[in-house]
Amino acid sequence: MVALPNPGVRVKATVNTHNETVEHTGLVLPPAAKGHLSLKLDNGYNVSYPTEAVQQWEELPTKAALSSAELHAPQADSDLPRVRLIHTGGTIASKVDYATGAVEAKFEPEEMLDAIPELAAIAQLDAVKIGNMFSDDIRPQHWNIIAAACADAFADGCRGVVVAHGTDTLHITSAALSFAFAGDGSRPAGPIVMVGSQRSSDRGSSDATENLLAAVHWAANGPLPTGDAGDSVSVVMHHGQSDGVMAVHSGLALRKMHSSRRDAFHAVNGQPLATLTLTHEGFRTETLPWYASALEQPSSRPLAQQPTTYETGQRIAQFIAGPWLHAEHIEAVVATGVQGVVLHGTGLGHLPIDDPQNDAPENALLWRILTRCVNRELPVVIVNQCIHGPVDMNVYSKGRKQQAMGLLGHGVSSTPETMVAKLHWVLSQNMDINGALASNLCGEHRETLRE
């Protein structure tokens, strides 16, 4: 049995398999299991073998990363539309750190353009780097930075913008940007397309290339947003597990539904805007009938010269309704000075606030603290933890009681994340909260999204 190389070393290893002796070349990863050699092969896939199967290995020179001067992105046709790639980080811009085996957001935008020369056939593309962040680290201040970068791109004459973003909170940022550009009755000058990937670009099963190609295509060739149809910001991700078909979603009406599948994003209370199928001739666009009809309607919205912004000091507390929700939890958090409370209600939007058998005093206490919040003019908004379906507090007496208490959210058909982003935006604009939350500002409550 030979001694194994350290992680991060590039090797050529000879190993015994059940059928034959084979050679593998790749970078050594931290072992997948104790007593194993794990390699990241040049094709992006990983292999692991027990130590006793390793016959020999030799260290090879490690491939150095290309410098900016060594990158060779092809020159795009000057007649193609201009599209700006705004780089924030995430898996689409990630690589494996072979010393630790962890995926890190550190892929530079120039490397992305160099790695996918097909982009030059779609648009004149330039890149701006905002950061190399995983999306769970993104905060409202970053929404403001991204929105400003989008506005700068349009002011520079770009036809569209692509925002490369991590997937975990992509649907939150897409909702936030939608209100920033269209919540006040305006619309962006061109498509703002958010894109991510579930698998890093150096994995053989990566969805990064197809997603990015499709996103740039939609930014360069997709319809100009109406602002009314939830299309001010769109999200392009895989439509299914297989290659070749991407979905274009409303940035206000989707959610990440799976932690690792390539088709993790699904429309909520409706359908995508369109699908993009990759063919030998390029992308074939199939616009969904509901969106095709929306595009035929004239829009009176003016173009947004500058996006509205989010007050980064706003604090919104969120709670999940159920057996573990207690008044003291809400009271303790409200005491920190939050500006809004969001409750993820059960079913049609219900909370445990009744004690019909006189054996659940916790429920009466919860009713009391929520009533106190409303009396203090602290907005309390109900969203739907079922994800699909509306909040309807007219059906049961419980819901009517909640409305009488002054709890907001009746009629909401948006995702919970969209409603929280909307509440934050409304608070930031000093708008009338009751009226704004009930209004359909930019397609977040559009009836066709509920079909």
Q: For 40-85, how does the pLDDT look when each residue is reduced to its tens digit (9 = 90+)?
A: 887 767 899 999 999 999 999 876 554 544 545 567 778 999 999 9
Clarify whether 168 is annotated catalytic: yes
Q: Which two tokens stand for residue 6?
A: 């350290």
Catalytic option among 256, 263, 415, 422 = 256
74: Cβ contacts below 8 Å, ≥ 6 apart: 117, 120
Catalytic option among 88, 91, 226, 418 = 91
Q: For 266-280, how does the pLDDT look when each residue is reduced to its tens digit (9 = 90+)?
A: 999 999 999 999 999
Q: For 306-345, how does the pLDDT look when each residue is reduced to its tens digit (9 = 90+)?
A: 999 999 999 999 999 999 999 999 999 999 999 999 999 9
Q: For 273-307, how does the pLDDT look when each residue is reduced to its tens digit (9 = 90+)?
A: 999 999 998 999 999 999 999 999 988 999 999 99
Q: Which two tokens stand for residue 349?
A: 């939007």
Q: For 198-217, how does the pLDDT look when each residue is reduced to its tens digit (9 = 90+)?
A: 866 555 557 788 999 999 99
Q: For 80-92, how does the pLDDT look when each residue is reduced to its tens digit (9 = 90+)?
A: 999 999 999 766 6
| Secondary structure of residue 276 in the 3-state scheme | strand
Clarify whether 256 is annotated catalytic: yes
Clarify whether 418 is annotated catalytic: no
419: Cβ contacts below 8 Å, ≥ 6 apart: 342, 381, 383, 409, 412, 437, 444
Q: For 132-190, how does the pLDDT look when each residue is reduced to its tens digit (9 = 90+)?
A: 888 999 999 999 999 999 999 999 999 999 999 999 999 999 999 999 999 999 999 99
Q: Which two tokens stand for residue 92?
A: 């689409």
Clarify whether 167 is annotated catalytic: yes
The DSSP symbol for 65 reads P
Q: For 116-125, how does the pLDDT look when each residue is reduced to its tens digit (9 = 90+)?
A: 788 889 999 9
Instruction: State how far the Cα of 319 lies from the Cα of 162, in Å rounded to an integer.
Output: 33
Catalytic option among 88, 167, 226, 275 = 167
Instruction: State how far the Cα of 57 lies from the Cα of 426, in Å rounded to an integer.
Output: 62
Catalytic option among 40, 168, 228, 448 = 168
Nearest Cα to Cα of residue 231 among 286, 162, 181, 284? 181
Domains and CATH numbers, the chain: 10-60 (2.30.30.520), 68-295 (3.40.50.1170), 316-450 (3.40.50.40)
pTM of the model: 0.84
